[in-house]
Amino acid sequence: MSSTGQTSQVRDSSRRTAPPTTRPAGGRKKNFLLVRRISAFFNSLPQPVAILLVLVTILLFWEGIVRTGAVSAIILPSPFRVAEQVGIVATQLASGGFLAAELWTTVQEILIGFGLACVVGFIMGLWIGQTQFGRKAIMPLFVMLEATPKIAFAPVFIAWFGFGISSKFIMAAFMSLFPIIIGTVAGLAATSEDEIKLFKSMKASAWDVFWKLKLMRALPFIFTGLKIAVVAAVTGAVAAEFIGGGIGFGEQIRVAAARIALDRVFALILVLSLVGALLFSLVALLQRKVTFWDTDSPARRKKKRGSA
Amino acid sequence: MSSLTATAVDVRYKITNVSHTFPGMEVQALKDINLSITSGSFSSLIGPSGCGKSTLLNTMAGLLSPSQGQVTLDDQNVTEPPDEVGIMFQKATLLPWRTAIDNVLLPIELRDGAKAAATFSDKAANLLDTVGLAGFHEAYPRELSGGMAQRVAICRMLITEPEILLLDEPFGALDELTRERMDLELQRIAAGRTATVVLVTHSIPEAVLLSDRVFAMSARPGSISDVIDIDLPRPRSMETLNHPAFGAYVSQVRDALNRGHDYV
């Protein structure tokens, strides 16, 4: 009797001590709910508003750091001074002033390099994707090359092709080659067994199987490669200009940075990023036109989700 | 006996002692298959997964040459897909970058070129109309339901006017109701062209509903365990499912399949 009373007492005491351990958990739950509510608010913002919010926050933070004087304005110019420089650069570009020719040089390097990479990358991709030899002998070499920091080859290209435009577009091509090869190889493997069997049952020639089936199936993958490649071409051209000098936009950045005119540097970088974004959008637009049927494309998925 | 002598005249497919082993596989996919398919008949190959029914159909389609034995069509050895044969698979496998009508025209385009395909567009349109796709000629495959896509695949098979149809579980991926409707449509099409049809299926009612003759197959190694002739009045319809003999045939086929599985 007494022993049972004791045990019940023990139980009671344990029950009494229990609440203090659960109370913080309840508080955490409340906090968690608040976090969820805040997160839900941010998630509900329309995309343009959300982007603007992030940008304004970054700029405010940036301006705040400059205002406190914690960092020298020479090292980190205020956003307003950068905006001013963006204005100057934009007027120069629009009026065909001293920056326009430099930008055109760099754009030429990017386009020639990208074009070259498209041709070479597609042919290499075909070789690797369509032949046993390519798969066995060429692919491993490309994987090794892909693993090396490609930028390290810039001095090599300058030594080979000189300080003119050619060493720059070769570098741009080199940087953008790999995504195109990988895209083409992956794309050529995307055709299903069923489709091959269907074409065989209709006695299709190897030529038709390639042009009317395998290449069509490969296109979405090739375009994915092209989108990565076109941005890589911008990096390649500008990096080669840093190292090899010349008359391009990258050289302008290097000179401005050497003068510690970082506001100008930021303005020039913004222009380059706009060039990259524009080229990327053009390829993406072309992809939407050419592979309109691709239900797995990100654009279509988004559209589907939106309508659902 | 009399039916044997009568049909011996117009045998189209003759399969003699066909065995097949896939490279690297221990068990024979097909073992000592002997059968003949008569002109204008509707035959089904039925059996569990892995009994080699699709493999057998592929050898008839000229997509696979068997390790042993002989497949002949009209006394010619089948070494490549014969011109008079149309094939259909479980998946519609429409090309997503082509409209329904362009998918139907694909076999013509591959055989005779794009110009010839253009002259067939009226015929393709008519075919699509007859399978109830009148408003969908210019639709892309992503806009079609599974049943509609299979109808397009039927039209693609029929555009070359094949005398022989080889169907590899053509409606296996469709729901039961759609499947029944497609089955009857298939019967109508086959009867309308007096085509010879070989259907691979794992549905017993489907096999009985459509066939003149059912070949029951057993697995490991794939072989024919029984041949059942279905003598139900034609044309068959949903009413046929209620015919007393229908149930009897279904149990007969099921028994045959079970006998083939005695070891399980």
Contact status, residue B221 vs residue B30, Cβ threshold 8 Å: yes
Say if residue A6's pLDDT is above 50. no
Residues of B in contact with A213 (CB under 8 A): 95
Amino acid A232: pLDDT: 95
Q: Chain B: residue nearest A296 by CA?
A: B142
Burial A156-193 (b: 16+ CB within 10 A, else e): ebbeebeeebbbbbbbbbbbbbbbbbbbbbbbbeebee
Give me the residue from B93, B111, B141 closest to A203, CB to CB. Answer: B111
Do residue B96 and residue A295 have CB atoms under 8 angstroms apart?
Answer: yes
SS3 B154: helix
Residues of A in contact with B61 (CB under 8 A): 201
Give me the residue from B93, B97, B111 closest to A216, CB to CB. Answer: B97
Say if residue A153's pLDDT is above 60. yes
pLDDT tens digit sequence for A113-126 = 999 999 999 999 99
Amino acid B49: pLDDT: 83
Chain A window 164-223: which residues touch B at a Cβ cutoff of 8 Å? 192, 194-195, 197-205, 208, 212-213, 216
Asked if omega into B221 is within 30° of 0 (cis), the reply is yes
| Residue B89 forms contact with A (CB below 8 Å) | yes
| Cβ neighbours of A46 (radius 10 Å) | 8
Residues of B in contact with A192 (CB under 8 A): 93
- DSSP run (H or E) holding A6: helix A2-44
Tokens of A146: 């892909």
Tokens of B150: 């299979």
Question: Domains of chain A: which residue ranges?
Answer: 10-68, 79-302
Burial B169-183 (b: 16+ CB within 10 A, else e): bbbbbbeeebbbebb
What is the arithmetic mean of pLDDT over A133-137? 91
Optimal mutation site among A196, A198, A214, interface B, most CBs of chain B within 10 A: A198
Segments in B196-235 forming alpha helices (H) = 204-210
Picking from B229, B222, B170, B196, the residue whose alpha carbon sits closest to that of residue B73 is: B196
Distance, in Å, from the CA atom of A90 to the CA atom of A71, rounded to the nearest integer, reads 27
Distance, in Å, from the CA atom of B169 to the CA atom of B263, rounded to the nearest integer, reads 26
Q: Which residues touch A79 (CB under 8 Å, ≥6 apart)?
A: A59, A62, A63, A66
Question: Domains of chain B: which residue ranges?
Answer: 94-161
Contact status, residue A199 vs residue A213, Cβ threshold 8 Å: yes
Contact status, residue B200 vs residue B169, Cβ threshold 8 Å: yes
B257 residue type, one letter: L
Q: Chain B: residue nearest A194 by CA?
A: B93
What is the arithmetic mean of pLDDT over A68-92? 88
Low-confidence residues of chain B, pLDDT below 70?
1-9, 260-264
| Residue B111 forms contact with A (CB below 8 Å) | yes
Do residue B93 and residue A194 have CB atoms under 8 angstroms apart?
Answer: yes
Distance, in Å, from the CA atom of A158 to the CA atom of A187, rounded to the nearest integer, reads 34
Measured in degrees and rounded to the nearest 5, phi and psi for residue B249 equal: -65, -40
ipTM computed for the complex: 0.84
* Per-residue three-class SS string for A37-73: HHHHHHHHCCHHHHHHHHHHHHHHHHHHHHHHCCCCC
Task: Walk across the sheet containing B68-73 and list its strands.
Answer: B30-38, B11-20, B68-73, B76-77
Do residue A203 and residue B95 have CB atoms under 8 angstroms apart?
Answer: no
Do residue B110 and residue A199 have CB atoms under 8 angstroms apart?
Answer: yes
Do residue B110 and residue A213 have CB atoms under 8 angstroms apart?
Answer: no
- DSSP run (H or E) holding B73: strand B68-73
Say if residue A231's pLDDT is above 80. yes
Name the β-bridge partners of B46.
Answer: B201, B216
Do residue A201 and residue B80 have CB atoms under 8 angstroms apart?
Answer: no
Task: Give the count of Cβ contacts less than 8 A between chain A and B.
Answer: 46
A84 HSE (CA, 13 A, CB side): 8
Do residue A203 and residue B140 have CB atoms under 8 angstroms apart?
Answer: no
pLDDT band at A99 (very low <50, low <70, confident <90, very high): confident
pLDDT band at A25 (very low <50, low <70, confident <90, very high): low
Distance, in Å, from the CA atom of A227 to the CA atom of A286, rounded to the nearest integer, reads 10
Residues of B in contact with A293 (CB under 8 A): 96-97, 140-142
Q: How far is A274 from chain B (nearest CA, A)?
A: 33
Amino acid A31: pLDDT: 78
Say if residue A72's pLDDT is above 70. yes
Say if residue A305's pLDDT is above 70. no
Amino acid B179: pLDDT: 83
Distance, in Å, from the CA atom of B155 to the CA atom of B177, rounded to the nearest integer, reads 21
Measured in degrees and rounded to the nearest 5, phi and psi for residue B108 equal: -65, -45
Q: Chain B: residue nearest A209 by CA?
A: B110
Amino acid A10: pLDDT: 45
Give me the residue from B97, B107, B140 closest to A202, CB to CB. Answer: B107
| Residue B246 forms contact with A (CB below 8 Å) | no
Sign of CA dihedral B250, B252, B253, B259: positive
Contact status, residue B209 vs residue B250, Cβ threshold 8 Å: no
Output the CA torsion B106→B110→B111→B113 (10° steps): 100
Distance, in Å, from the CA atom of B24 to the CA atom of A52, rounded to the nearest integer, reads 61
A138 residue type, one letter: I
Do residue A203 and residue B80 have CB atoms under 8 angstroms apart?
Answer: yes
Using DSSP bridges, classify how beta strands B30-38 and B76-77 pair: parallel, antiparallel or unpaired.
unpaired
Optimal mutation site among B110, B158, B159, B200, interface A, most CBs of chain A within 10 A: B110
DSSP letters of A188-244?
A: HT-S-HHHHHHHHHTT--HHHHIIIIIHHHHHHHHHHHHHHHHHHHHHHHHHHHHHH
Q: Which residues touch A232 (CB under 8 Å, ≥6 apart)?
A: A175, A176, A178, A179
Distance, in Å, from the CA atom of A174 to the CA atom of B145, rounded to the nearest integer, reads 45
pLDDT band at A23 (very low <50, low <70, confident <90, very high): low
Amino acid B174: pLDDT: 79
Fold of A79-302: MetI-like fold (1.10.3720)
What is the arithmetic mean of pLDDT over A261-275? 93
What is the arithmetic mean of pLDDT over A18-36? 66
Residue whose pair of structure tokens reads 């090292």 in the numeric block? A75
Amino acid A298: pLDDT: 53
Q: Which residues touch B21 (CB under 8 Å, ≥6 apart)?
A: B27, B28, B29, B67
| Residue B138 forms contact with A (CB below 8 Å) | no
Tokens of A307: 């309508």
Distance, in Å, from the CA atom of B72 to the CA atom of B35, rounded to the nearest integer, reads 11
